[in-house]
Structure 1
Amino acid sequence: MKPPYEITSLILKYVSSISEKIGEVNAKYLIKTNPQLRKQNQIKTIHSSLSIEGNTLSVEQVTAILENKRVVGPQKDITEVLNALEVYKDIKYLKCHSEKDFLKAHKILMTNLIENSGKYRRKGVGIVKGLKVEHIAPPYENVPFLMKDLFKYLKDKSEISLIKSCVFHYEMEFIHPFMDGNGRMGRLWQTLILMEEYSVFEYLPFETLISKNQTEYYNSLSISDKEGKSTKFIEYMLNIIDQSLSELLENSIKKLSDENRIQIFIEIFEEEFTRKDYLIYFKDLSSATASRDLKKAVENGIISKQGDKKTTTYRKN
């Protein structure tokens, strides 16, 4: 059975905006050309996803653990980071449609943190916020059947992946299949579902934006619970993904070297082009930076220059 939600005009707006930005990321080879950026984004993803769950380690400490340096901090927090690094290291080998891989990922994430990691809960659970019971999860006897149905839904090819990833994330949080680690599994599996269609999501740290405004994250889950459908949560998550792609585009272009920018640009512009064309393509660049890039590329023999001042044009050598 398909989980309940509605397609709103806001959802359609975000799907359109996200698709456009993914196209821009791919066209500009932003991820392929910047391995350092990939590493930084993966560290941010791990740090943010764990900090949402109360992990106290900083980005610098997570980086140090990745580089096998000694870190002083609570052992539980260090174990959480080591486990998350292990999962994200092999994330591309996990299949989003496989319930077996889902349980395997939970086992790695929660090893030495809880008993029965990698196994569905055998007790009833409720989520308490302050003195109030926020959510009572379905009885544990129903968990295996509910999760099987959810994985069947994942295989539905008629569903848009962007929406399907949000629905899975919400429904999994609602079922609450594990005693602990549900939040980080929901975010990890949403990433995996998106990665199947768009490789950029392996390196897109949308958890950073969630961690900056956790109240909104939990509110959207709570409203969806009360309404009995995931519409509000889909709108929230698509907005987060859209914002994350905007940040990625902005930061990536700033961090590209002049040589990388020129190489990316001439892959696209085989014909003659002007400085204005270059500025339209890299819209966050200043005119002075664009002029410097082009001057250096001419000096290095990558492109040649014709004309002067306003009539100047360039061509790939």
Structure 2
Amino acid sequence: MKNYPPFSVTPLILTFCQQISRELGYFAGANMAQAPIKLRRANKIKTIQSSLAIEGNTLSIEQITAILAGKRVLGPKKDIVEVNNALLVYEDLAKYNPSLAKDLLRAHKVLMKNLNAEAGKYREKGVGVFDGTKVAHMAPPAKRLPYLMTELFNFLKSSSGVSWLIKACVFHYELEFIHPFEDGNGRMGRLWQQLLLMKEDAVFEYVSVESIIKSNQKKYYKVLGQCDKAGTSTLFIEFMLGQILSSLKTYSKITKPQKINAAFRLKNAKKKIIGKWFSRKEYMQANIDMSSATASRDLLNGAKKGLLIKKGDKNQLKYKFGA
């Protein structure tokens, strides 16, 4: 993997990947990616609160919930701006492509609006990370950023043999090491890790890995430092996969499996193809792993119950959801 970030796949990494795959397989079978809207919203708020708290934001989950509801809260102006910016980004994650550098800059511009004059731009000067008065990490020179960031995104696009689980962890570490922004590198690293994990499985949009990281914050920074000295992200991958697995197990405890039946499938399809005529094939595409016979029964029952309008006949038969 010439010019790719240095890391090794250890037995522990393989074990974690297998355990995470089993958890994701259970979620898929129980349809737990389709969590209730209230739970999705609660987990998203928890993710935002945890990621910002790691950077020193003082607002609580209750205060962030109030801000989301349009209520006024008492707190430092900077903290409130950080929350409002994060809500804008996390409420619309689907609009960002984690494989594109321009989307990284676009997300940073929103996340750091009114917080940093260079929001949405790579830094143009040197920067160091301090532990008290001691320099814990000196980031690469600003002039090398275009090359380093291009190579990092090339890794995402070209390393087809590497799972998105590992790519997410590698990218997270490398972004912290490169430190491409004047401010906001930590929260951007955690945001981009989530977006990359969502390419592995949609359930990661609603799983708060950040809250587990926050509870292990000292170890998080310690491992980052160890990887800096070692010149490889291997230890960080091991650490982060452990956090991801813990997050999935926590999610499974608070999420009830969804009963998948005709009513559920019709409701799921309606969210994706409402307002237009669609064929049986398009209905099947809106519901994963569905047979044509099951699709026909669903559509027939939906029409009988008045949930669907139909027109045409045989191969030309089309359906549309009613108001």
TM-score grouping bracket, smaller chain normalisation: 0.7 to 0.9
Q: Which amino acid aligns with 1:56?
A: T
Task: With the length of structure 2 as denominator, give the TM-score of the two structures.
Answer: 0.78
Q: 2:157 aligned to 155, 158, 165, which one?
A: 155
Match of 1:155, SS? helix
Structure-2 separation of matches of 1:220 and 1:206: 16
* Paired position in structure 1 for 2:79: 77
Q: Which amino acid aligns with 1:74?
A: P
Structure-2 separation of matches of 1:74 and 1:41: 24
Structure-2 separation of matches of 1:197 and 1:18: 11
Does the Cα contact within 8 Å between 2:126 and 2:139 map onto a contact in 1? yes
1:50 matches 2:52: yes
Q: Which amino acid aligns with 2:143?
A: E
**After the TM superposition, which parts of structure 1 deviate over 4 Å for at least 4 consecutive aligned residues?**
264-267
Does the Cα contact within 8 Å between 1:49 and 1:187 map onto a contact in 2? yes
* Paired position in structure 1 for 2:130: 128
* Paired position in structure 1 for 2:144: 142
Structure-2 separation of matches of 1:117 and 1:130: 25
Q: Which amino acid aligns with 1:42?
A: K
Q: Give the number of aligned pairs.
A: 260
Structure-2 separation of matches of 1:64 and 1:9: 45
Q: 1:205 aligned to 185, 204, 208, which one?
A: 208
The alpha-carbon deviation at position 131 of structure 1 amounts to 2.4
Q: Which amino acid aligns with 1:182?
A: N
Percentage of identical aligned residues: 52
1:26-37 correspondence runs (5 A):
26-37=28-39
* Paired position in structure 2 for 1:186: 189
Q: 1:229 aligned to 201, 213, 232, which one?
A: 232
Structure-2 separation of matches of 1:41 and 1:25: 16
Match of 2:62, SS? helix
* Paired position in structure 1 for 2:314: none
> Mind listing any 5+ residue stretches in structure 1 that lack a counterpart?
268-317
Structure-2 separation of matches of 1:203 and 1:134: 33
RMSD, aligned α-carbons: 1.5
Structure-2 separation of matches of 1:24 and 1:64: 34
Structure-2 separation of matches of 1:265 and 1:108: 40
Match of 2:255, SS? helix
The alpha-carbon deviation at position 116 of structure 1 amounts to 1.2
Q: Which amino acid aligns with 1:174?
A: F
Does the Cα contact within 8 Å between 1:45 and 1:208 map onto a contact in 2? yes
Classify 1:23/1:126 alpha carbon distance in 2 versus 1 (closer, same or farther; 3 Å).
Answer: same
Structure-1 separation of matches of 2:114 and 2:120: 12
Does the Cα contact within 8 Å between 1:224 and 1:232 map onto a contact in 2? yes
The alpha-carbon deviation at position 264 of structure 1 amounts to 4.8
The alpha-carbon deviation at position 197 of structure 1 amounts to 2.7
Q: Which amino acid aligns with 2:240?
A: M
The alpha-carbon deviation at position 266 of structure 1 amounts to 11
Structure-2 separation of matches of 1:265 and 1:230: 44
1:241 matches 2:250: no
Match of 1:220, SS? helix
Q: 1:104 aligned to 103, 106, 109, which one?
A: 106
> Mind listing any 5+ residue stretches in structure 2 that lack a counterpart?
264-323
Does the Cα contact within 8 Å between 1:172 and 1:186 map onto a contact in 2? yes
Higher mean C-alpha displacement, 56-65 vs 29-38:
29-38
The alpha-carbon deviation at position 114 of structure 1 amounts to 0.7
Does the Cα contact within 8 Å between 1:31 and 1:38 map onto a contact in 2? no
The alpha-carbon deviation at position 228 of structure 1 amounts to 0.3
Deviations 1:160-212 (A, max 9, x none): 11011100110110000000000000000011111123101111101001111
Does the Cα contact within 8 Å between 1:165 and 1:194 map onto a contact in 2? yes
* Paired position in structure 1 for 2:120: 118
Q: Which amino acid aligns with 2:242?
A: N
Does the Cα contact within 8 Å between 2:46 and 2:208 map onto a contact in 1? yes
Does the Cα contact within 8 Å between 2:109 and 2:119 map onto a contact in 1? yes
Deviations 1:59-117 (A, max 9, x none): 00000011111111111000000000000111111101111110000000000001110
Match of 1:95, SS? coil
* Paired position in structure 2 for 1:90: 92
Does the Cα contact within 8 Å between 2:163 and 2:200 map onto a contact in 1? no
